[in-house]
Amino acid sequence: MGIKWVTFLNDGTNVGANDYLVKKLVENGIEPVMRIYTDGGARISGDLSSLVRHYKALGVNYYQLYNEPNLRIENQGQAPDPKAYVDKWLPAAKAVIEAGGYPGFGSLSPTPGLAPGAAPGDMDDLKFLREGLQEIKRRGETGVLDRSWLSVHNYGRAHLRVRDYDRIVQEELGRSMPQIGTEAGIYPGDTLSEEEAVQVVAQAYNYLPQREDYYFAYTYWIIANESGQGAPDRSWDHQALFRGGSRSPLVDLLKQEV
């Protein structure tokens, strides 16, 4: 399919379970991006520096810290708060940098207004990004952003959300930040037909050859769920590229593009 970036989840700071996956990705010329998973956005605990040193040696350079912090569900049920996010992001980002990695900021959900079923209490992603950057500036910590990147979830027809993010970053920092898509495709609650969904995603992939210099990757959010021995939650299967004995038409379309 020509895929050159893959995001995968690591259980907190546990080391070892993803060694095989990382080695196979690197062997095949695919850039691995590690999302350090904590339940509901709980603060990362354990030895983060040791984790990064271990996986840096195997070929992981990029580490996504936390996920969609502008959503209540990713804040232990509390209202999203850019200042609280910076409180836990900054020390984790510094630990990643000290160990030789590049920390990801954000992974904002493009909601409300763009995501079906946005929950009450969620925070607009553009507002969250601006206030988060302003808080880092207020603390005099913009140097951390010199070795960081912006993690992007540019789902659906909003795959060019990267332009909105860059405008805000430029206004707040006077320069761009690298942006790496770590989730994309179609929203789980989207009602598009499969044919319509495939065309939307194909348009996003076809944009990449002319993408902006700061925009590095568009990453489809789920390759396989049950077919890849993933979580036994079948609600995600219709989103997966591979499901049971079948596969999405997008797979063949991407192969043709290659």
Does a structural domain hold residue 246? no
Residue 117 pLDDT class (50, 70, 90 cuts) = low
CATH code of the domain in which 115 resides: 3.20.20.80
Query: Is residue 188 over pLDDT 60?
Result: no
For the chain, what is the largest distance between any 2 Cα atoms, rounded to a whole number of angstroms? 53
Query: Is residue 115 over pLDDT 90?
Result: no
Which parts of 25-178 are beta strand (E)?
31-37, 62-65, 102-108, 149-153
pLDDT, tens digit (0-9, with 9 covering 90-100), for 139-173: 999 999 999 999 999 988 889 999 999 999 999 99
Identify the CA nearest to 153 among candidates 93, 109, 217.
109
CA–chain centroid gap for 63, Å, is: 10
pLDDT at 156: 84
Segment 21-49 shows an average pLDDT of 97
For residues 197 and 44, the model is more confident at: 44
The mean pLDDT value of the chain amounts to 91
Give the ranges where 109-160 is alpha helix by DSSP (H): 125-138, 142-145
Does a structural domain hold residue 248? no
Does a structural domain hold residue 22? yes
pLDDT at 189: 61
Residue 190 pLDDT class (50, 70, 90 cuts) = low
Cα dist. 10→78, 102, 176, 221 in Å? Answer: 24, 16, 28, 15
For residue 145, give the 3-state DSSP assignment.
helix
For residues 113 and 120, the model is more confident at: 120
Does a structural domain hold residue 256? no
Does a structural domain hold residue 226? no
For residue 32, give the 3-state DSSP assignment.
strand
For residues 17 and 158, the model is more confident at: 17
Residue range(s) defining the domain that contains residue 46: 5-221
Identify the CA nearest to 114 among candidates 161, 67, 70, 69.
161
pLDDT, tens digit (0-9, with 9 covering 90-100), for 196-242: 888 999 999 999 999 999 999 999 988 888 777 766 667 777 788 99
Please classify residue 117 by burial: count the beta carbons closer than 10 Å to its beta carbon, then call 0-12 exposed, 13-18 middle and 19+ buried.
exposed
Does a structural domain hold residue 247? no
For residues 69 and 227, the model is more confident at: 69
Q: How many domains does the chain fold into?
A: 1
Segment 109-138 shows an average pLDDT of 84
Does a structural domain hold residue 70? yes
Q: Report percent pLDDT > 90 for the chain.
A: 74
pLDDT at 116: 57
Segment 54-76 shows an average pLDDT of 96
Does a structural domain hold residue 144? yes
Query: Is residue 4 over pLDDT 60?
Result: yes
pLDDT at 113: 60
Cβ 162 vs Cβ 129: under 8 Å = no
